[in-house]
Structure 1
Amino acid sequence: MKKKILIIFKLCLSVGLLTLILKNTDISGTIQLLKNTNLKFFLLALAVLIIQTLVATIRWRRVLEHFNFYSTYVKILRYLWIGLFFNQALPSSIGGDAIRGYYLCRGGSSVRSASLGILLDRLSGMMGLVVLVLSTTPLLFNRLEGSIAQWGVVLVAAGMLGVISVIFILDFLPQKLSHWRIIRGLYALAFEGRQLMFSKSSGSKLIILSIIVHLLSIIAVMVLAEGLGLGIEWLGILVVVPLVTLFMTIPISIAGWGVREGVMVVGLGYLGVMPEEALALSILYGLLMLAIALPGGLIWLLGDHSSGLETNVE
């Protein structure tokens, strides 16, 4: 029952946000821009996201190796792509992360290790995003008009940094709470997170891989903007897309629909981009993310992954 309520809430939020945006946008202009999209640029952006998926697989594989989980690159790529499909293509409360964990457990991993491997992959991605947001915030700060918008960006970046910092010290909670399973899980996440992310051999590499993943998203959006003929300067996309990604990490809508469009319209609007242009770009980006997820659905339907991941515990 709770899962159904959550799905309904996400659906209502996505529809509500999109409706609000459409009421304040020249929808005919947006439709015309989408009709005039250059297909070659869309396919080029799709190729960029394929590269992004390949890089994200390298990152996740490194995280799994921290737990002495070893498998071929192709098998890890399969699990990641299936998870991407469930995240993007289905209005499900199961989520791609749960699907990834399911396949890891079928391959011999414990529930605890599989969960931590997925959460720490997400955490490394968030850290790379925070580094990117913090590094581009000064550029955006100087271009925004109005103190509310300027300080809003600062608060978002500071809030994200604060959340990650708290995650790393969760195991300092009172030990008397350890009889709760969820608290024990938080202890393990904090401890393993510090071991992984502050390691000289792996931490910096994971951050660099995460930054590359997010930069590829930015490049894909730049390519889409060119395909729409918008002429948006690359600096504007560089500073706005990380914020869009940041807000999309909050699981309150269906595959980010509504949230992505709202942040894109508002963010690019402060940089002088017309709402119908920003909306067209956001919709096209959403369709691109759906397109890149579809191969994962095909892998899920046709593949057999019951013996995918071997475990080697030293």
Structure 2
Amino acid sequence: MKKHLLSAFKILVSIAGILFIVFLVKNHWNEVVKVLRGFKPEIFAITVLLFFAAMAIITVRFGIILQVQGIRIPFRTLYYFNGLSLFFSLFLPSAIGGDVVKGYYVYKRSGKKVESFTSIFLDRFVGSLGIIALGLITILYYGHTLNLAPLRNWALILCGGMLLVLFFFLNQDFADKFKFLKVLVPSVKIREIIAHVYHTLNYYKHHKKVLVRGFLISLVGQVFFMTVQYFLARSLRIDVPYITFLLVVPIVTILSMAPSINGLGVREAGFVYLFGKFMEPEQALALSLVYDALVYGIGICFGLLYLFREGFRSAVVHEAMDMEEQVEKIEEEELESGKGEQE
């Protein structure tokens, strides 16, 4: 029931974002088409290469984090797993998360259960820190330019919250002071899972250099993704300074984290509203549409690769629907083995 309510809420948020776009653009749809007609495929080709390069950078980050857990998987395979994560996130958002798919395949390859999934959590967490850091700098120093002063306090709260969570995971003495809060979690199973994940992540406190490297790699990766969108704008003959993308893209990315169907509607509304301060609304909408086409197109490519590698009889949809149940069984087995060791 809760899953259905959450899915319904995500759909409503995405619809609200789309309606907001319609309100902003209003009678400019013909102008949007004109912008799209100016599309330059040769520049778009450069954009595709840059996107694959950005994926390579975040794959390096993921590999470094996995190695701390003693999981060594070839770069080529990890890159493929990241592609699968993109595909499943885009096309099966309500059934399963892309991170769960990636974690499941890392587990199948490594044989390590909870370590695979907690590594993915930390990879996502470190990546989010990079995005938020860039967004925070933008809001604090350029918020007046974008008229984003009201977001400053929220940005500080979000950044402070993530730093607190990171400090919590890396400082056992500090975390022990909050043991009394476990009574707020009614399910014993959930408490055990949280405790197990905490102890696994706490392991990284002995590898702070890995966290720093991951954070720096995240910054580089985000700059590449911003460059992707800069060249997308150039492919539509939109001429705005590169610094504009350094200012706007982190904020759009943070907004896309809101509960929605993989950021659909929210991301496009962010594009139109924020980029609309530096270009015409129809140009901003065209840019968001081309970006969606790029991401979904690459996701489809990885989906087709998955079908050919795993075989059409592997039933992608059925495997995806079973994935969450498989992950729960993995966690239950790990918890049972942990109890056995303690006894």
**TM-score between the two structures when normalised by the length of structure 2:** 0.79
CA contact (8 A) 1:14 1:258 kept: yes
Whether the 8 Å contact between 2:115 and 2:200 is mirrored in structure 1 is no
> CA–CA distance in 2 between the matches of 1:69 and 1:39?
40
SS of residue matched to 2:134: helix
Q: Is the 8 A contact 1:82 1:296 kept in 2?
A: yes
Secondary structure of the structure 2 residue equivalent to 1:255: coil
What residue identity is the alignment partner of 2:215?
A: I
- Cα distance in 2, alignment partners of residues 303 and 3 from structure 1: 31
Structure 1 segment 217-228 matched on structure 2, within 5 A? 217-228=225-236
Name the counterpart of 1:120: 122
| Gap change, CA 1:130 and 1:176, over 3 Å in 2 | closer
Do the aligned partners of 1:85 and 1:294 also contact (CA within 8 Å) in 2?
Answer: yes
Amino acid in the other structure paired with 1:125 = G
Corresponding residue for residue 133 of structure 1: 135
Asked if 1:13 corresponds to 2:18, the answer is no
Please say if residues 83 and 100 of structure 1, whose CA atoms lie closer than 8 Å, have aligned partners that are also in contact.
yes
Match of 1:290 in 2: 296
Q: Deviations over 1:229-266 (max 9, x none)?
A: 2212222211110111112223x222211111111222
Structure 2 counterpart SS, 1:281:
helix
Distance 2:251 2:206 in 1: 25
In structure 2, give the amino acid aligned to 1:246: I
Tell me, yes or no, if the aligned pair for 2:90 and 2:296 is still in contact at 8 Å: yes
Moved more, 2-11 or 114-123: 2-11
Equivalent residues in 2 for 1:20-39 (5 A)? 20-25=20-25, 26-39=28-41
Q: Please say which of residues 190-199 and 71-80 is displaced more in the overlay.
A: 190-199
| Higher Cα radius of gyration | 2
Do residues 150 (structure 1) and 143 (structure 2) align?
no
Residue by residue over 1:53-94, the C-alpha shift from the partner in whole angstroms, topping out at 9 and shown as x without a partner, is: 111111111111111111211111121111111112334330
Q: Which residue, out of 204, 215, 218, partners 2:212?
A: 204
Aligned equivalent of 1:246: 254
Change in CA separation of 1:89 and 1:32 when aligned onto 2, cut-off 3 Å: farther
Preserved CA contact (<8 Å) 2:146 2:274: no
Residue 164 of structure 2 is aligned with which of 163, 166, 180?
Answer: 166
Contact 2:131 2:250 in 1 (8 A): yes
Q: How far did residue 107 of structure 1 move?
A: 2.5
Inter-partner Cα distance in structure 2 for 1:197 and 1:210: 19
8 Å contact from structure 1 (residues 49, 292) kept in 2: no
AA aligned to 1:56 is I
2-side partners of 1:247 and 1:98: how far apart?
A: 22
* CA pair 186-165 structure 1, distance change in 2 beyond 3 A: farther
Structure 1 residues 22 and 57: CA distance shift in structure 2, 3 A: same
Instruction: Choose 173-182 or 119-128, whichever is displaced more.
Output: 173-182
CA distance in 1, matches of 2:215, 2:304: 30
For residue 281 of structure 1, report the CA deviation from its aligned partner.
1.1
Q: 1:165 to 1:46 in 2, by over 3 A?
A: same
Q: In 2, Cα distance between the equivalents of 1:39 and 1:139?
A: 35
- Measured in 1, the distance between the counterparts of 2:257 and 2:150 equals 21
Q: Say which SS state the counterpart of residue 295 (structure 1) adopts.
A: helix
Structure 1: where are the runs of 5+ without partners? 307-314
Match of 1:181 in 2: 189
Percent of residue pairs identical: 24
Question: For 1:242, what is the secondary structure of its paired residue?
Answer: helix
Q: CA deviation at 1:136?
A: 3.0
Question: Residues of 1 paired with 2:181 and 2:265: CA distance?
Answer: 42
Per the alignment, in what secondary structure is the counterpart of residue 150 of structure 2?
helix
Residues 205-227 of structure 1: CA deviation (Å, up to 9, x unaligned): 10111111111110011001111
Aligned length: 300
TM normalised by structure 1 equals: 0.85
Summarize the Cα distance change of 1:276–1:214 in structure 2 as closer, same or farther, 3 Å threshold: same
Tell me: higher relative CO, structure 1 or 2? Use CA pairs within 8 A at least 6 residues apart: 1
Q: How far does residue 185 in structure 1 lie from its aligned partner after superposition?
A: 3.9
Between 5-14 and 38-47, report the one with greater CA deviation: 5-14
Separation in 2 of the partners of 1:16 and 1:134? Answer: 25
Letter in 1 for 2:227: I
Deviation at residue 284 of structure 1 after TM alignment:
1.3
Residue 138 of structure 1: how far off its partner (Å) = 4.0
For the Cα contact (< 8 Å) 1:82–1:299, is it kept in 2? no
How far apart are the structure 2 equivalents of 1:132 and 1:159? 15
Equivalent residue number for residue 105 of structure 1: 107
Report the CA distance shift for 1:255/1:58 in structure 2 as closer, same or farther (over 3 A). same
Partner Cα distance (2:158, 2:253) in 1:
12
1:268 aligns with 2:275: yes
> Which structure has the highest helix share of the two?
2
User: Is the CA contact 1:197–1:204 (under 8 Å) kept in the aligned structure 2?
Assistant: no
